[in-house]
Amino acid sequence: MDKFPTHNKKLIEWVKNMARMCQPDDIVWIDGSDEQKQRFEKEAIGSGEIIQLNQEKLPGCFLHRTAKDDVARTEHLTFICTKIKNDAGPNNNWMTPKTAYKKARAIFKGSMSGRRMYVIPFSMGPVGSPFSKIGVELTDSRYVVLNMLIMTRAGEAVLRQLEKDGHFTKCLHSKAELDINKRLILHFPEDNTIWSVGSGYGGNVLLGKKCLSLRIASFIARKEKWFAEHMLIMGIEEPNGHVEYIAGAFPSACGKTNLAMLVPPDGLKKKGYRIWTVGDDIAWMRVDTDGSLWAINPESGFFGVAPGTNSKTNPNMVDTIKKNTIYTNVLLKPDRTVWWEGANGEVPQEGVDWQGGLWKAGMPDDRGRPILGAHPNARFTAPIMNCPTASFRIEQHHGVPISAIIFGGRRQHLAPLVYESFSWQHGVFVGSTMGSELTAAQVGKIGDVRIDPMAMFPFCGYNMAEYFRHWLAIGKRMAKAPKIFHVNWFRADESGKFLWPGFGENLRVLEWILDRCNNKVDALKSPIGYIPRPTDLDMTGLTLANGDLHRLLEISNEDWLEELKRIKKFYQLFKEDLPKELWQEYEELLLRLKAR
Ligand code: OXD
Ligand code: MN
């Protein structure tokens, strides 16, 4: 291959400039071929970056371990760098581009000396689709290359596409010293540029994912009048073969991946539903000439949380990750297969834990607690096409039409199992105020509620007040806007026991949602929105304890009035920037609750 296998002058100049700063020993362009991928796998095994797993039981699978303090996205080291602070908004950490470039340049300088720089041209979305965006990531990590080959469409075809239109997001990554004190995840939306240094963790370094497809894309989407959202996309095939698609936003640890590929419960099976997975994390959506909202999943793989994944919670994912999968920070078993807390089968007696230490089941740490075999945020990276429910429309350039948007959080109290907003504007209010309880996987007091609008709080690349305004404006452009719903699979009784079984049973709620979209069923009007009449949820084959369905749909005025105080405080963060329509929705909800 030539030194620069492209005629794109901007690309050549940029690669040269970045190489001048990072000083790699050589530069290799990713062509997307199997042959090149296999060569990198061999090299990465040789260097210890990955461990080859049992190829009979897990063909094409590898294990990678990150540094101990590099196991999750580091939001406090993640910045939106705009000239004006208010453009990043109170929802983001901010630096001026000048300061940020200067700080990062000092870390990038010479960071690739003794290493190779890989150039990864990648497309988010099908190559050539008018809705796709191209990025080029420069990295000194083979782990990043191997992951990007799963998560994105990468290689020659993208480079050819780039010859034509020339535009790409400039993504620079170096592991540097993997030092948390020299780690920065920087976004320069005004320059269409991302610089990430000092980390090797997926969410910080697979720059096509959160950095490009959400933070930078949300900024571009506002200008170009579309949506870049933290949403799953799934198809529900009805018994007559017609498929309806929904998009859903849920914060981490609320079951987005499981929902995207759910297995219909036995009681509904005879109705003949099938589920099709389009995406589990990101949706790009735009208004088409038919006045509806159409969505693509820009990714081509899953970067999912391993702990808790098993044949009960997600049988389709269990099948998906049996081949061509990269595991990160899981337990290595003596037979060179892998395990994590909540995996299928018996707890292994021993193995090598995620930090590379010998591990025995129940082994206590110095505080007497059992040492985990896998990190709670251990991950797998797997091709979406491995998934038994992968939709045939994933590769279609046009995407899928969205009938309903679902927002959801983890709330033991307050939010009912499901409710429908009164209008698009009210739906934006619902999304902008959605909250979720912190879990053991997050920093903070368990049970405390954090407001995470549209599950985008950590991912919105600009001032969220403007993001809400954008949502309101797009609503006005749609002749056939999707209906907006809120769901809560996590409502619990006084003893903390979940009232709803979740997982596949959630299809019963989705069925009601689609019936509402198709005007097939009436609903009850409550102060917060429309809720189902209990008899309209098909409960065939599911028996809940006496009164539980009623409790799942109950709305407590007192709790909602309390919630409004939290919402008010949150909205006040945005001062006069917050769209007045949202204050209006707030006031109207207050009045409805007081009048009850
Ligand atoms: C996340 C993820 O952190 O999808 O939201 O990895
Ligand atoms: Mn996510």
pLDDT digits 0-9 by tens, 305-347: 999 999 999 999 999 999 999 999 999 999 999 999 999 999 9
Taking the centre of ligand 1 as the mean of its atom positions, its distance from the CA of residue 459, in whole angstroms, is 10
Evaluate if residue 2 carries a pLDDT over 60.
no
Residue with CA at minimum distance from ligand 1 atom 5: 252
pLDDT given for residue 4 in this prediction? 87
Ligand nearest the Cα of residue 72 is 1
- Does pTM top 0.85 for this prediction? yes
Nearest Cα to Cα of residue 160 among 168, 150, 152: 168
Q: Which of 204, 212, 232, 303 to mutate to test the pocket of ligand 1 (most atoms within 8 A of CB)?
A: 303
CA atoms within 13 A on the CB side of 201: 27
Overall average pLDDT of the 551-570 stretch: 97
Looking at residues 420-441, what average pLDDT do you find?
90
**Mean of the pLDDT values across residues 504-522?**
97
Compute the mean pLDDT over every residue in the chain, rounded to the nearest whole number.
96
Return the percent helix, strand and coil in the chain, to nearest 5. Answer: 35, 25, 45
| Residue written as token pair 């405080």 | 569
The reply to whether ligand 1 has any atom less than 6 angstroms from the CB of 252 is yes
CA distance 178 to 198: 4
Atom of ligand 1 nearest to the CA of 256: 4
pLDDT digits 0-9 by tens, 228-246: 999 999 999 988 899 999 9
Residue whose CA is at the smallest distance from ligand 1 atom 6: 203
Which of 66, 73, 439 is the best mutation target for the ligand 1 pocket, counting ligand atoms within 8 Å of the beta carbon and taking the most?
A: 73
DSSP state letters, 241-303: S-EEEEEEE--TTSSHHHHHT----HHHHTTT-EEEEEESS-EEEEE-TTSSEEEE---SEEE
CB of 245 within 6 A of ligand 1: the answer is no
Residue 226, pLDDT above cutoff 80 = yes
Residue 490 CB–ligand 1 contact under 6 Å: no
Least confident of 176-185, 262-271, 323-332: 262-271
Q: pLDDT confidence of 1, banded at 50, 70, 90?
A: very low
Higher pLDDT, residue 447 or 245 = 245
User: What pLDDT score was predicted for residue 596?
Assistant: 83
Q: At what angle do helices 557-572 and 580-594 cross, to 10 degrees?
A: 160
474: pLDDT strictly greater than 60: yes
Question: Range with the lowest mean pLDDT among 57-71, 103-117, 438-452?
Answer: 438-452
Q: How far is the CA of 456 from the centre of ligand 1 (A)?
A: 11
Average pLDDT over residues 411-417: 95
Q: Which residue, by CA, sits nearest to atom 4 of ligand 1? A: 281
Cα separation of 191 and 77, whole Å? 20
Q: What is the pLDDT of residue 543?
A: 96
C-alpha of residue 22 to centroid of ligand 2, in Å? 30
Question: Span 565-579, mean pLDDT?
Answer: 98
Ligand 1 contact via 73 beta carbon (within 6 Å) = yes
Q: What is the predicted pLDDT for the residue at 440? A: 52
- Closest to 92 (Cα-Cα) out of 502, 462, 404: 462
Position 253 scores a pLDDT of 77
Proportion of the chain above pLDDT 70, given as a percent: 98
Pick the residue whose CA is nearest to atom 1 on ligand 1: 252
The helix (H) or strand (E) run that includes residue 407 is strand 400-408
- Any ligand 1 atom below 6 A from CB of 379: no
Ligand 1 centroid from CA 6, angstroms: 33
- What pLDDT digit, counting tens, does each position of 128-172 carry? 999 999 999 999 999 999 999 999 999 999 999 999 658 999 999
The separation between CA 353 and the C-alpha centre of its own chain, rounded to angstroms, equals: 26
What average pLDDT does range 253-269 have in this prediction? 92
Q: Is 592 helix (H, G, I), strand (E, B) or coil?
A: helix
Ligand nearest the Cα of residue 249 is 2
Average pLDDT over residues 256-272: 93
Name the nearest CA neighbour of 469 among 160, 225, 286. 225
Give the residue, 441 or 244, on which the prediction is more confident.
244
Which tens digits make up the pLDDT trace of 395-410? Answer: 999 999 999 999 999 9
Residues ≥6 apart with Cβ < 8 Å to 35: none
Look at residue 17 and tell me whether its pLDDT is greater than 80. yes
Q: Residue 473's pLDDT is what?
A: 98
* Stretch 533-541: mean pLDDT: 96
Residue 303 Cβ contacting ligand 1 at under 6 Å: yes
What pLDDT sits at residue 3?
A: 79
- With a cut of 90, say whether residue 446 has pLDDT above it: no
pLDDT value, residue 443: 56
- The answer, yes or no, to whether any atom of ligand 1 lies below 6 A from the CB of 203, is yes
Question: Active-site residue numbers?
Answer: 254
Q: Is 380 in the pocket of ligand 1 (CB under 6 A)?
A: no
